[in-house]
Structure 1
């Protein structure tokens, strides 16, 4: 399996979810251009696109540096419950895009899943960004089933960006690819005629099991290989989660949260 993983990564994937956090950093920490550039250089041979999550605290530099290195960028504005931060994020993503460094814009990530704001407020942010950036595709990221529950949000998307995690629904690894394919099919059915991409999917290699989902090195490698092969065959744009392990995520997701990366927290490739 390690050989299949290495061959798949060597061929390259469409995109990776990218956060440049180092040990001891977390959302709210200031990230430097140097660490962004160093981490991007590690993954440059292996993907064409990166997906970012924020346009504040130094993350606003990531799209420019990524473009300099030859990546295309899906640039995110992180929205939550803090109105001041939301405003900074919206201003940031507009500035980054007007500077020419965003190829797709994501206004919010799992805002509805977390119930951080009502649908109408999210739609207002989306429309504001679309009005400011008429020449760039704008959409929203959330779990696949939220696009069924919120047809107005789905309709407002130029691009529908679906997060598909069989792991977090207790699916055994052996059935995970088929289950993820069903998630994508449901998203497509909820968004007929829309461009749909997978904005996140992955499998952890360590940590506690979640119902029938068990983290393991073999499982993480197999899910990566299976998912990338299917996405290429199906012609769907895939952003795999994630490039690097993020130690801070144990607070939100338990011990398993720190082990979703293809590279570890120190930038060392984990498999293959």
Structure 2
């Protein structure tokens, strides 16, 4: 089920932090007028924002959002400070009664497990208490690898055994920059990872609660910050999230200088606008992509990557791949293979390299382009197979791309 409150437009929903230069949580707060000014700017961009707390300046955010008809993915901040947590719950309950039409959903805790501040059982207890307040949709937010319990680059899901049954939907953070992914594959990584998670958490909707690309900071592997790279990421994310009906929130609306103290230089520059509220981009392409034409018979398609291209990979030679299958039958999967000097099944993420099909979509977050020298000219093949691993169709339902040349050194 897709949450109705996500169909808000006109552009991507945004994560919002109200802190300007010289302001910070626990320090100088933004004024009501400053927050009101922000909401007036953002109302032209989106009708859905994510907030990160319910007390003090965050209560002013909810009030200002209400006056501009902006829905909120309302934050309830959790930490190891149990007294502060009680205050957050009390503040949230007050806001819920004051602005029931503004609070579209509640996110109870943000990367709390990642920081090691609370246990899954404790978070579950807070989630249940918020449910008892009469809130609508409720979630908690963690990086996708916390949900999937990443171990040695091989996800074994679900890692968080209790929370998926407690929340109404999963909020996963997916950051290609921190995973050292080149910008040409960054938005595709978000899409592929979300599809992968859906093959595991089959009974719970997956919302990408944060993703983005920084405009300053250090290069991480093949991930290069910059204004133009942020533009490329945003436009690709807009395109693919619409074509695949994947719900994402972009991090974030404005740069926040205070974050250099916790994340270094890169922490301050994820905004689509500077801390002075100056837009970084003129004329972002928000054109609505053309919906797919539905073929009359079973077909498989590779939407990313494209063939006949030179591309950088991660240090382990990996890039994401995803596509669609039309008229899929129950039990069908997509076998993914890469050709260097022979065809190699991509079995790092799925047994036998066979990706489940979810709502007509399939993905593998990492396929390996390991060819060297004359073999650095890769082909990728996607073949539809049944539950026994037998190729489907006569002729076989498959798709193939070729001419993919890796531009960097790597070690698979």
Return the TM-score normalized by structure 2: 0.61
Structure showing the higher helix proportion among its residues: 1
| 2:85 matched residue in structure 1 | 86
Moved more, 228-237 or 16-25: 228-237
| 2:26 matched residue in structure 1 | 28
Deviation at 1:250, TM superposition (A): 0.9
Which aligned pairs between 1:233-248 and structure 2 lie closer than 5 A?
233-248=243-258
Deviation at 1:32, TM superposition (A): 2.4
The separation in 1 between residues aligned to 2:163 and 2:176, in whole angstroms, is 23
Asked whether the 8 Å contact 2:191–2:241 carries over to 1, the reply is no
The separation in 2 between residues aligned to 1:63 and 1:141, in whole angstroms, is 19
SS at match of 2:14: strand
Deviation at 1:265, TM superposition (A): 0.3
Deviation at 1:231, TM superposition (A): 1.2
Asked whether the 8 Å contact 2:121–2:162 carries over to 1, the reply is no
Residue in structure 2 matching 1:177, options 171, 187, 198: 187
Asked whether the 8 Å contact 2:16–2:252 carries over to 1, the reply is yes
The separation in 2 between residues aligned to 1:52 and 1:59, in whole angstroms, is 7
> Per-residue CA shift, 1:67-102, capped at 9, x if unaligned?
220111100111112222211112112221122131
Given the alignment of the two structures, is residue 104 of structure 1 paired with residue 105 of structure 2, yes or no? yes
Residue in structure 1 matching 2:262, options 239, 242, 252: 252
SS at match of 1:161: strand
| 1:13 matched residue in structure 2 | 11
CA-atom RMSD in angstroms: 1.5
SS at match of 1:13: coil
The separation in 2 between residues aligned to 1:125 and 1:103, in whole angstroms, is 18
Which 4+ runs in 1 deviate beyond 3 A? none
Asked whether the 8 Å contact 1:55–1:92 carries over to 2, the reply is yes
Asked whether the 8 Å contact 2:48–2:71 carries over to 1, the reply is yes
Bigger radius of gyration: 2
Gaps of 5+ in 1: 1-10
Asked whether the 8 Å contact 2:52–2:76 carries over to 1, the reply is yes
| 2:173 matched residue in structure 1 | 163
Moved more, 198-207 or 30-39: 30-39
Asked whether the 8 Å contact 2:74–2:104 carries over to 1, the reply is yes
Asked whether the 8 Å contact 1:247–1:258 carries over to 2, the reply is yes
| 1:5 matched residue in structure 2 | none
> Per-residue CA shift, 1:152-189, capped at 9, x if unaligned?
11111112111110111111112212221222123323
Gaps of 5+ in 2: 1-8, 148-157, 283-412
The separation in 2 between residues aligned to 1:245 and 1:96, in whole angstroms, is 26
Alignment coverage as a number of residue pairs: 261
The separation in 1 between residues aligned to 2:188 and 2:14, in whole angstroms, is 21
Structure showing the higher strand proportion among its residues: 2
Where relative contact order (Cα < 8 A, 6+ residues apart) is larger, the structure is 1
| 1:225 matched residue in structure 2 | 235
Which aligned pairs between 1:22-101 and structure 2 lie closer than 5 A?
22-29=20-27, 30-99=29-98, 100=100, 101=102
